[in-house]
Amino acid sequence: MSVTMIEPGQTMPAIEHHYLNAEKGIKSWLTTVDHKRIGIMYLISVVLFFAVGGLLAVFVRLELLTPGRTIMDAAMYNRVFSAHGIVMVFLFIIPSIPASLGNFLLPIMIGAKDVAFPRLNLASFYIYWAGGILGIIGMLSGAVDTGWTFYAPYSTTTTTVVWMTLAVFVAGFSSILTGLNFVVTIHKMRAPGMTWTRLPLFLWGIYATAIIQVLATPVIGITMLLLMMEKLIGIGIFDPKLGGDPVLYQHFFWFYSHPAVYIMILPAMGVISELMATFSRQKIFGYKAIALSSMAIALVSFLVWGHHMFVAGQSEVAAIIFSAITYLVGVPTGIKVISWVGTMYKGSISLRAPMIYAQMFLFLFTIGGLTGIMLGSLNVDVHLHDTYYVVAHFHYVMMGGTVIAFLGGLHYWWPKMTGKMYNESLAKWAAGLIFIGFNVTFFTQFILGSQGMPRRYYDYVPEYASLHAFSTYGSWILGLGLLVAFICFIHSLIKGEQVGADPWGGTTLEWLTTSPPDAHNFKRVPLVTRNPYDYDAAYDDLLGDGMGDGASRTPVVSPSRS
Amino acid sequence: MTPKHNNNRTMIGVLAAGILAIIYMIYVMVAPQGGHIQGWTPRASSTLAEGTDWVFNFINYWNYLFFIGVVAAMGYFIYKYQRKSDSDRTEKVKDSIAFEMFWVIFPTLLVMVVFVLGARDYMGQRVTPKNVYEIQATAFQWGWTFTYPNGGTSDSLVVPANQPVRMVMTSNDVLHSFYIPDFRVKQDVIPNRFTYVWFNAPKPTLKYNRPNDSTLTVSSLDRKHILHCTEYCGTSHSGMDRNVQVMAYNDFETWLEELTKVDESAEGGKKVFESKCQSCHSADGTPGIGPTWKGLWGSNRSVSPGGAVPADENYIRESILNPGAKVANGFPNAMTNFTGLIKDGEIKAIIEYMKTLK
Amino acid sequence: MSTTATAIDTGHHDHDHDHPEYLQHHFVSADQQFDSAKMGIWLFLVTEVLLFSGIFVAYAVFRNWYPESFHETFSTLNIVYGFVNTCVLLTSSYTMVMAINSIQNNQVDKMVNYLFTTVALGAVFMLVKTVEYKEKYDGGIFFWLWEPHGHHYEHLANVAYASIFMKLYFVATGIHGLHVLIGMLLLLWVAWKGKEGRWSSDYYNYVEVSGLYWHLVDIIWIFLFPLLYLTS
Amino acid sequence: MAHGHSHEGGGHHIVPQSVLRNTFLALLVLTLITVGTSMFLHAVPSLGFLGIPLAILLATGKASLVVMYFMGIKYDKPINGVIAVGMVLFVVIFMVFTMMDTTTRKAFGDRFGTTTMEDAEHWKELKAREKEILEGAKKVPLTPADYQRLGAVPADTTAKQ
C-alpha cells in the first residue's frame, strides 16, 4: 500500500482492519486474549467502579455538610464511607492505570504482539470481576463499616466482614497475576534493539508497579485469610481477649497497603513522564534518574509501613526507624518532580488537554508529597494522625495524582485506542472544573485536620461547620467536572473525527502503528535503534519507515515544514 | 484535522486557574472560620504543643518554598516556551549530573534535619517526667470513664493545672484513641493492654461547669478543650467527644471531693443516666440501641435466656454489671459490662431514677 | 542514531506454517516461550512464599512473646510423623526431578512413571497428615474445636495461649496441605497429558512448571518441620 | 550418564542424574542431622538457645540445595536467581521489621505493652502512692495570687444548666 502525504485540513482515511473490528460480537470480546481488548474491558469496568465510588463520596460529603444528621444516620454513614474506601482502593485505583492503559499499551510500546501469558491476562480480568461482585455482595449483605482497613478487634468481633475480606482476597489475585504478566512481558518480549535504556518511562513505571504487585499483594492475601480465620475459627492472633495483638494486624495490613499506595502512584508518574516529553517536545530531563527513582521507590516502599502506626502502640524504637526511612523514600519522588519541571525547560509546550492534566498533576502532587513530609515527622504525626489532614494528604496524592494522571493518559492515548479525537474545549472545561473543585474540597480539609477534626467522624463540633460546608461545595464542583470529562469521551466516540497514527508527534513505538492499531499491533517486528524521546531522530522516522528501506511509510500529517 | 486550538488563550486560562487556587488556599488558611479557628494548629494549651508547633511550622515554611518554586517554574516555562507551530524543533538540553546530584544530596540532608527535629521532640513526649498525677481512663464503645486516684470516677476529664498528668488507658472492647487537639497528644487505647500518654496543661480553663457535668450533645460543647476518639470504633464513634477542663489546684481539690460523694437520689440517678447510659438508652420511650427506661421498672421483661423476668432490683443490677447474662429480646447483646466503671451508689441512684420514669 | 523501525501495511499477510504447533503466535521462538514460562512460575513461587511468610511472622512474633506456652503446646506434636513426612516429600522431590530429567532425554514413559510415583508419595504425605489430624481431633483439638481432653492433650487446657499456637499449627499445615493437594492434581494432569504423548524433549514447559511448583511445596515443608516439630 | 542423543529443544541444560542423586542423599542426611541436633539440644538444656538458629540454618541449607540443583537455578538464566534471592530478602524484611516493633515495646522503661493480667500489682502500688501523689500535687506553687496571674475566675457557682 503506498503512502499518501496528508495535507493538514484534509480528513484522515479510516483504517479498515483493526483490533476493534477484527472479530465481531460480544462472545468475541468476552473470550478475547488480545491485550488491547482486555485493556478496553478493564477501562470500562474501572470507570464503572470509579462512578460507584464517586457517588458514595458525594453522599459522604453531603452528610458532612452540616453538624448532626443531614441526610443519613450514623450507621449508614459508616457503611457509606467504608464502601467508598473499599471500592476506590481495591476496585478502582489499583487496577486503574496498569490494567487499562498498561494492558493496552505495554505490548505495543515494546514492539511485541501480546503480553507473555494472554490467557492468564483474561483470567485475571475475570478474577477481578469475581472480586468486584463479592465486594458488592459484601456491601449489600453485611454491614461492613470498618473502613477499608478492617482493623482487628472491631472487624473480627462486632461486624460481618467475611464477604468483604473474601472479595479483597480474590481481587488481590487479579492484581498479582497482572503484575506477574507484566514483569515477564517486559523482561522477555521486548523488540530487538529495545534495551533497558530505550524503554519508555511509562513502562518503567509499570515495571516497578508490577514488581510491587507481585511482592506485596500476597501479604494482603494471607492477612485477609487470617482475618477470616480469626472470625470463623477464633484463631486469636489479632483478638486481644484471646492473647493476640491488634497492632500485629496493623503490621500485616500496612506491609501490603503502603507498597499498594506506590502501586497507585508509580503508573501515574509513568504517564506524566510521557506527557511531559511529548507536549514539551523535549527529551526527558534525567531519563536514568527517573527510571532509577521508580525502582528505588519500589524497593524502599517495603521498609516504611510503620509510619501509619506511630500512635498505635508501636514501640518507640520501631517508630524512629520507620520515620527515618520514610524520609528517605521522599527523596526519589522529589527527583522525579524536578526532572519533569526540567523537561519543560527550553521545550515547545503545547497546552492540549493531556498537558493541562500533567500541569494539574504537578501542582496537586507537589502539595500531596510535601504534606507527606509533614506527616512523616514523629511528633507532628502524633497531632495529625487519623485527622482530616491525613484524608487531605492521601486525596491530594491519590486523586490529585493518580486520577488526574489517569485522565491525562486517557486523553493522550484516546486517539490511539479509538482512532477518534476528543473535543478540545470540552476537555479543557472539564479539567478546569476538576481543578477548582478539587482544591476547594481537599485543601479545606488540611485546615480541618490540623485543627483537630478526627477522621471518619459522622458528627463534629460546630466550630468546623463552615469548613465542612466549603469542602462539600467543592465536592459538587469536582463531581460536575468529572461528569463533563466523561461526557467529553462519550461525545468523541460518537462524533470525534478520525486521526492519523501520530496526532501528537509522540516518538514512542505506539505512535508508529495505526490508530486504532491492528489486531497484531505491528506487521513486522520493529527494530528499535534510538532513545524513546529522541525528537531529532524521530523526524526522520516520520518520513522514512525506519526499516531503512523506506518501503512503506505511515500516512502522516505533513509537518508543514516550509 | 483537529481544530487549531488557541495555545495562547489556554495558557492564560491555566495560569489564571493556578493563581485562583492559590488565592483560595491562602484565604482558607488565614480567614477565621466559625468561632475562632484560624491558621493551622489550634491554640497551644500544653507544654508539648509548643514543640510540635515549632516543627510543624518549620516543615510548613519549607513546603511553601518548594511549592512556590515548582509552581513558579511551571508557570514561567508555560509562558516562555509556548509552542509556536507544530513543527517547532527544540534545542537539545544536556542532562547535567551535577543538577541531579544536587537534588539528591540537598533534599536528603534537609529531610534528615527534619527527621532529627521530629524524633527528638517525640522522645520528649514519650518519656514521662517524675511526680506525675496518674488518671486511669477506660474507653468503651462510645464513652470514656476516668478514674481518679481517690477512687472517684467521672465521665469528662478534669486535670489539675500546671501539673504533669499521665493517662493510664485501656479499652473495654475495641480500639479507641485518646486525642486532645489543644494538647497535641494522641495515643491509641488498646483492649487488654495499658498505653500511656502524658501532658502538662499550665492554664486553667476559664469557665468550669458542675463536676460530673456531661450533658453533652456534641453541638452544645463549650469550646474548652475537647477530647476526641480518633480510632474508628463503631456506630457512634463520633459520639465519644468529651469535655476536658483544667482546674487550678483548690478547685480541683474541691471537685475531687465532690466527685466521690454519690447522691443516691433520683436526681443523682438522672445525672448518672446522662453521663453513662444516654448514648444507648432513652428515658422518654424513644427506641435506641438499648431498651428505653420509660415504664421499665416493675414491668415483666422477656429476656433470653430465661423467658420472662420481673424488672426488679437485682435484674437491673445484673443487667448493669453483667449485661450478657440476660439480654432483652429484640436488642443486640452490645452493652459493655460496667463492673468497675460504676459505683454501687450510682446503681442505687439509677434505680431511684427509673422509679420516677412511668 | 539510525531510525526506529516499523512497518505498517494494513494488508493481512498469511500465517507461515513452518513453526511448530505448540509455539503460541505471540512468541518469536520456543526458547522465548520456555524462558517466559519459567520466569512466570518463579514469580508465582515468590507470591506463594510471601503468602506463607505471613504465617511464619505470626509464628515468630507469638513464640517471642509467649515462649513457655509455645514449648508446652508444641511438645505434644509427634516428631515421628513429621520426620516421615519430611522424608516422603524429599523423595517425591527427587522423583519429580528424575521425571524432568527423563523427559529432557525424551523418555516419555519413564517420565510418566516418575510422575505417578511423585503423586503417590504426595498421597502418602496427605495420609500421614490425616492420621495426625485424626489423633488431634480425638483429643478435642481441631480448626474450630478447642476442648482438649484425653491424657495427651488435656493439660493444654490450662496453658495460657495454647489455643493460639495449636490453631497457628493447623492454619500452617492446613494451607500447606492444600498446596500439596493442588500440586498432586497438577502432576496428575501433566502425567495424563504425557501419556497422550503431548510432551517431548522439545516441548515440556508444563512438566517443568509443575516440577518447580512441587519443589516449592517441599521447601515450605522443609521450613515447617523443624520450626513446628523440633525446636520446642 | 544419560544415554544417546538428546536433541536439545532449546539450550535447556540437563542436570546429570548423578548430581541429582547426590543432592537427594545430601538432603536426607541433612534431615537426619536436624533431628539429631534437636535431640541433642533436648538432652543439654543449657544450649537451648541454639535451637532456633541451628534449625533455621539447616533448613536454609536444605532449601538452597533444592533450589540450586533440583530447581536448576545453578544452570538457569541469572534473572531467576535474582527472583529467588529477592523472595528470601522480602520475607526477611517483613520478619525483621515486624519483630523490631514487637520485641522492643518495653525499651523505654515506660510500662508500655504490659497486659492487664501482669499489671494488677501496678494498681496496688498506685493506691499505696496515693497520699504521696496528692502531696506532690499540693506542692505545686499555686497560691490565690497565682489565680489572678493565670487569669482564672473564682469558682463559678452559677453552674451552667
| pLDDT tens-digit series, residues A244-266 | 889 999 999 999 999 999 999 99
Query: Are residue D49 and residue D94 in the same domain, yes or no?
Result: no
Nearest Cβ partner for A554 among C8, C47, C52? C8
pLDDT of residue D138: 52
Distance in angstroms (rounded) separating the CA atoms of residues A23 and A19: 8
Does A246 sit within 8 Å of B221, measured CB to CB?
no
Cα separation, D153 vs D134, in Å, equals: 23
Q: Out of D6, D67, D79, whose CB is closest to C39? A: D79
Q: At residue D116, does pLDDT exceed 90?
A: no
Q: Are A103 and A121 contacting, i.e. CB atoms less than 8 angstroms apart?
A: yes
The whole-angstrom separation of Cα A198 and Cα B131 is 66
C30-43 CB burial, b ≥16 within 10 A, e <16? bebbbbbbbbbbbb
Mean pLDDT of A110-114: 88
Domain count, chain A: 1
A238, C62 in Cβ contact below 8 A?
A: no
CATH number at residue A96: 1.20.210.10
With beta carbons under 8 A apart, name residues in chain C contacting D14: 101, 104-105
Is residue A193 pLDDT above 90, yes or no? no
Indicate left, alpha or beta for A84 from its phi (over 0: left) and psi (-120 to 50: alpha): alpha
- In a domain? residue A562: no
Same-domain check for residues D50 and D88 = no
| pLDDT at residue B39 in the model | 76
Q: Which domain holds residue A430?
A: 32-540
How sure is the predictor about C92, in pLDDT bands with cuts at 50, 70 and 90?
very high
Residue A3 CB burial class (10 angstroms; 0-12, 13-18, ≥19): middle
List the single range of A97-101, A222-226, B61-65, B324-328 with lowest mean pLDDT: B324-328
Q: Does the pLDDT at position C35 exceed 80? A: yes
Cβ <8 Å between B186 and A74: no
Query: Grid coordinates standing for A417?
Result: 485506542
Q: For all residues of chain A together, what is the average pLDDT?
A: 88
Residues in chain C closer than 8 A to D28 (CB atoms): 87, 90
D137 lies within 8 A of chain A by CB = no
> Which residues contact residue A401 at a Cβ distance below 8 angstroms, ignoring those fewer than 6 apart?
A264, A265, A268, A361, A364, A365, A368
pLDDT (tens digit per residue) in A288-338: 999 999 999 999 999 999 999 999 988 888 999 999 999 999 999 999 999
Looking at beta carbons, which residues of chain D come within 8 Å of A254? Answer: none
Query: In which residue ranges of chain B is CATH 2.60.40.420 found?
Result: 133-260
What would the grid cell of residue A36 be? 488491547
* Cβ neighbours around B101 below 10 Å, total: 11
Average pLDDT over every residue of A215-234: 92
Give CA angle at C164 (C160, C168), nearest 5°.
Answer: 150
User: Which residues of A are less than 8 Å from B87 in CB distance?
Assistant: 559-561
**Cα–Cα distance for residue pair B132/B61, rounded to 1 Å:** 35
Q: Phi and psi dihedrals of B226, rounded to 5? A: -110, 145
Q: Cβ-count burial of D30 within 10 angstroms (0-12 exposed, 13-18 middle, 19+ buried)?
A: middle
Q: What is the rounded distance in angstroms from the CA atom of residue A53 to the CA atom of residue A16?
A: 38
State the Cα–Cα distance between residues A204 and A210, nearest whole angstrom.
Answer: 10
Q: Enumerate the residues of chain C whose CB falls inside 8 A of the CB of residue D7.
A: 106, 201-202
pLDDT of residue D143: 46
Q: Between chains, do D100 and A187 touch, taking CB under 8 Å as contact? A: no
Residue among B128, B192, B196 whose CB faces D116 most closely: B192
Nearest to D137 among B127, B133, B251 (CB): B133
Partner-chain residue, chosen from A245, A317, A322, that has the shortest CB–CB distance to D104: A317
Quote the pLDDT of residue B311.
82
pLDDT digit string (tens) for B128-151? 887 788 888 999 988 899 988 887
pLDDT higher for B156 or B279? B156
Q: Smallest CA–CA separation between A313 and chain D, in Å?
A: 8
Three cell numbers written together for C62: 507469638
Q: Dihedrals φ, ψ of D100, to 5°? A: -60, -35
Q: pLDDT by residue (tens digit) across A142-162?
A: 778 899 999 988 888 866 788
Q: What's the pLDDT at A275?
A: 94
Average pLDDT, chain C: 86
pLDDT reading at A481 higher than 60? yes
SS (H, E, C) chain C: CCCCCCECCCCCCCCCCCCCCCCCCCCCCHHHHHHHHHHHHHHHHHHHHHHHHHHHHHHHHHHHHCHHHHHHHHCCCCHHHHHHHHHHHHHHHHHHHHHHHHHHCCCHHHHHHHHHHHHHHHHHHHHHHHHHHHHHHHCCECCCCECCCCCCCHHHHHCCCHHHHHHHHHHHHHHHHHHHHHHHHHHHHHHHHHHCCCCCCCCCHHHHHHHHHHHHHHHHHHHHHHHHHHCC
According to the model, what pLDDT value does residue B215 have?
Answer: 42
* Contacts with A225 from chain C: Cβ below 8 Å: 54, 175
Please, which residues bridge with residue B159 across strands? B246
Q: Do chains D and C touch (3 or more CB pairs under 8 A)?
A: yes
Q: What is the mean pLDDT of chain D?
A: 72
Q: Which of residues 210-249 of B touch D (CB under 8 A)?
A: 210, 213, 215, 222, 248-249
Lowest pLDDT segment from A175-184, B96-105, D49-58, D148-157: D148-157
How far, in Å, CA of B185 to CA of A388, rounded?
16
Q: Is residue D45 part of a domain?
A: yes
Instruction: Please give the biggest Cα pair distance in chain C.
Output: 82
State whether B206 and D112 contact (CB < 8 Å): no
Closest-CA distance, D116 to chain C, in angstroms, reads 14
> C30-65 and D78-102 helices cross at what angle (nearest 10)?
20
Residue A64 is classified by DSSP as T
- Residue C19 binned pLDDT confidence (cut-offs 50, 70, 90): low
B–C contact: 3+ Cβ pairs < 8 A: no
Tell me, what's the pLDDT at C55?
Answer: 95
Return the minimum-mean-pLDDT range out of A61-70, B184-193, B279-288, C222-231. Answer: B279-288
D60 in the same domain as D30: yes
CATH 1.10.760.10 domain locations along chain B: 266-356
Q: Report the CATH number of the B266-356 domain.
A: 1.10.760.10
C-alpha cell at B194: 495499658
Size of interface A-D (CB pairs under 8 A): 50
Question: D108 Cβ partners below 8 Å, 6+ apart?
Answer: A316, B126, B127
pLDDT of residue D2: 36
**Chain A residues with beta carbon closer than 8 angstroms to that of C47:** 176, 180, 214, 217-218
C35-230 maps to which CATH number? 1.20.120.80
In chain B, which residues have their Cβ closer than 8 Å to the Cβ of D112? 194-196
d(CA A234, CA A242): 9
**CATH superfamily name and code, B133-260:** Cupredoxins -  blue copper proteins (2.60.40.420)
Give dist(CA B111, CA B63) in Å, integer. Answer: 12
Chain A CB contacts of D105 under 8 Å are 314-315
Asked if A248's CB is within 8 angstroms of D102's CB, the reply is yes
Q: Determine the average pLDDT of the residues in D54-59.
A: 91
If asked whether residues D20 and D34 sit together in one domain, one would say yes
Interatomic CA distance for residues A137 and A140, integer angstroms: 5
Residue A545 predicted with pLDDT over 60: no
Mean pLDDT over B176-189 rounds to 94
Distance CA A412, CA A276 (A): 11
Q: In what order do the strands lie in the sheet with B143-147?
A: B153-154, B143-147, B133-140, B165-171, B195-199
Interface check for A548 against chain B (CB to CB < 8 A): the answer is no
Residue B101 clears pLDDT 80, i.e. is over it: yes
The count of domains in chain D is: 2
pLDDT at site C200: 87
Per DSSP, chain D holds a count of helices (H) and strands (E) of 6, 0
Report yes or no: B190 and A240 within 8 Å, Cβ to Cβ: yes
Mean local confidence (pLDDT), B246-252: 82
- Reported as a single tens digit per residue, the pLDDT across A366-420 is 999 999 999 999 999 999 999 999 999 999 999 999 999 999 999 999 999 998 9
* Residue contact A113–C26, C-beta within 8 A: yes
List the single residue in B10, B25, B35 with the smallest CB-CB distance to A439.
B25
Low-confidence winner among B206-210, B317-321, C122-126, D62-66 (lowest mean pLDDT): B206-210
Most confident of B70-79, B267-276, D143-152: B70-79
Mean pLDDT of C76-89: 92
Q: Same domain for D24 and D59?
A: yes
Q: How confident is the model at residue B1 (pLDDT cuts 50, 70, 90)?
A: very low
Q: Where are the domains of chain C?
A: 35-230
CB contact under 8 A, A546 and C54: no
Which residues from A are below 8 Å from B17, CB to CB? 432, 435-436
Contacts of B294 (CB under 8 A, 6+ apart): B282, B283, B284, B285, B357, B358
Considering only CA atoms, which of D137, A375, B250, D58 is closest in space to residue C86? D58
pLDDT digits 0-9 by tens, D8-23: 444 577 888 899 999 9
Rounded average pLDDT over A525-530:
79
In a shared domain, residues D56 and D77: no
Q: Read off the amino acid at residue A368.
A: G
DSSP A313: T
Residue B210 has pLDDT above 80, yes or no: no
Domain that includes residue D50, residue range: 15-71
ipTM above 0.90, yes or no: no
> Residue D65 in contact with residue D31, Cβ under 8 Å?
no
Residue A202: alpha-carbon gap to chain centroid: 12
